[in-house]
Amino acid sequence: MTIRRSSLLKTMGFAAGIALLIQAAAPCTLAVISGRATANGRPLMWKNRDTSDPNNKLAFFKGPKYDFVAVVISEDPAPAAEVWGGQNAAGFAIMNSQADDLGDAAKKLDGAGNGAFMKLALGVCATVKEFEDLLVREKGKWDLATNFGVIDAEGGACFFETRRDSFVKFDTRDPRVAPFGTIVRTNFAFTSPDQMLGGGFDRFERIGHIIEAARPLGRIDARFILREASRDLINEKLQSNPLARPLPDDPAKPLYVHTSDTINRNTSVSALVFEGAPSRDQAHLGTMWVLLGQPVTGVAVPVWPAAGRVPSATTGSAATTGSAATTGPATAPLNDVSRAIVAHLYPDQRGRMYQYLNVTRLRTYGGEGVLAKLLRIEDKAMERTAAKWAEWAAAKPSAAEMAEFQESVAAEALEALKKEFGDLLKPGPKAR
């Protein structure tokens, strides 16, 4: 499916049945989906984060109005000045992708304020409307060049193509923009003054096909996004599925896939899936699934801002509360395991060879392969969470109960990963 930006602006999405956009310098892949298109009837939002810094962790913040949890760069001093996706206790969640085509090189505007603006929004916004009002109030004050994705506990689910002096809203409730309630983005903007500066067009087409194929089947939920979208390794133009191709007979000539133009990229460092709260009265039930590391090398665990802390496995220290982000070692334990698996799957670091994933190792490690092990661990976390979420929907839990549960799920996932991939976590020869 080929979509011209000029025609999309005229038709606002009718030709494609799904609105799509993307990012360049840090090539993230995103989706915002209204409740009418999800399996559980609640809005959903997803981000695969790509950046040159592989070390991410979670942090808990006490905002001016609302507590929130967000992904930060591990090496940033606490409290982190920037966040790269998060959710607050009011049920408001935000994410972004860099859109270089919304910057202004002549004025040296490149989106340097994107992360700090998201931190501000999480601390003061409860709804999509309040976020839009914030954009109006702060117009002209920030260096922004980005696609902001937001959802709230009222069912709102929107993108905002944003630059320093203006923004354009794309609402999943607007049939002109999202006739089926789905919008995806990567690293370009349809409202860009220069259509040649954006990027991620291949991923744009790929995720559009994935979402649109799943929507009429009622398959769109957090599990589907994590399994089939976030971890996707298919190059849209080549249409070659490395998970289905026969493996070479000669172990000295393994199968590789180039992962610079796939959704799961060699620069992917985390994945976030936000499941919207059922209502403002139950904002505490909004769930943030966090996968620290490249998606094909990690597992997602749930967190809730209402818990007042983050799991120790996601932050690198005993979870803490207070006005600052959690502190501790530079990296989170779950991220550390992912990085060890990445090192095994990308063994050749010469030149640009780091862009090639060893598919033979991915599919055969430990007999059943890396993905089978990861998905088994992640499925257990999701099953436990679904049962607990139903309990909490019937009777509101305390912050301590929520904190204890998310700590338990993350700790169990970490221990399972250590068991399954223990040989990769210590020096010496690795299993094949």
**Secondary structure, 3-state, 241-284:** CCCCCCCCCCCCCCCEEECCCCCCCCCEEEEEEEECCCCHHHHH
More confident residue, 204 or 431: 204
Q: What is the pLDDT at residue 430? A: 59
More confident residue, 239 or 357: 357
Q: What is the pLDDT at residue 77? A: 87
CA distances from 41 to 38, 153, 225, 323 (A): 5, 12, 15, 34
pLDDT in tens, 110-143: 999 999 999 999 999 999 999 999 999 999 999 9
Q: What residues contact residue 95 under an 8 Å CB cut-off, 6+ apart?
A: 30, 45, 47, 84, 85, 118, 148, 149, 150, 272, 274
pLDDT in tens, 57-69: 999 999 999 999 9
Q: What is the pLDDT at residue 14? A: 30
429 confidence band (pLDDT: 50, 70, 90): low
- For the chain, which residues make up each domain, given as ranges? 5-261+268-309+330-425
Axis crossing angle, helix 370-394 with helix 399-420, rounded to the nearest 10: 170
CATH topology assigned to domain 5-261+268-309+330-425 = Penicillin V Acylase; Chain A (3.60.60)
More confident residue, 139 or 329: 139
Match 């979670």 to its residue by tokens. 58
Q: What is the pLDDT at residue 5? A: 41
Q: What is the pLDDT at residue 173? A: 97
Q: What is the percentage of the chain residues whose pLDDT exceeds 70?
A: 90
Q: What is the pLDDT at residue 316? A: 74
pLDDT in tens, 269-327: 999 999 999 999 999 999 999 999 999 999 999 999 999 999 999 997 544 333 333 33
Q: What is the pLDDT at residue 97? A: 97
Residue 3 predicted with pLDDT over 90: no
- Alpha-carbon distance 27 to 51, whole Å? 7
pTM of the model: 0.91
Residues 295-334, buried b or exposed e (16+ Cβ, 10 A)? bbbbbbbbbbbbbbbbbbbbbbeebbeeeebbebeebbbb
What's the CA dihedral at 163, 212, 370, 384 to 10 degrees?
90
pLDDT in tens, 29-40: 999 999 999 999
Residue 366 predicted with pLDDT over 70: yes
As a whole number, mean pLDDT of residues 403-425 equals 97
Q: What is the pLDDT at residue 290? A: 98
Q: Which amino acid is at 381?
A: A
Q: What is the pLDDT at residue 299? A: 98
Query: What count of other Cβ atoms lies within 10 Å of the Cβ of residue 398?
Result: 11
As a whole number, mean pLDDT of residues 188-202 equals 89
- At 288, give phi and psi (nearest 5°): -115, 115
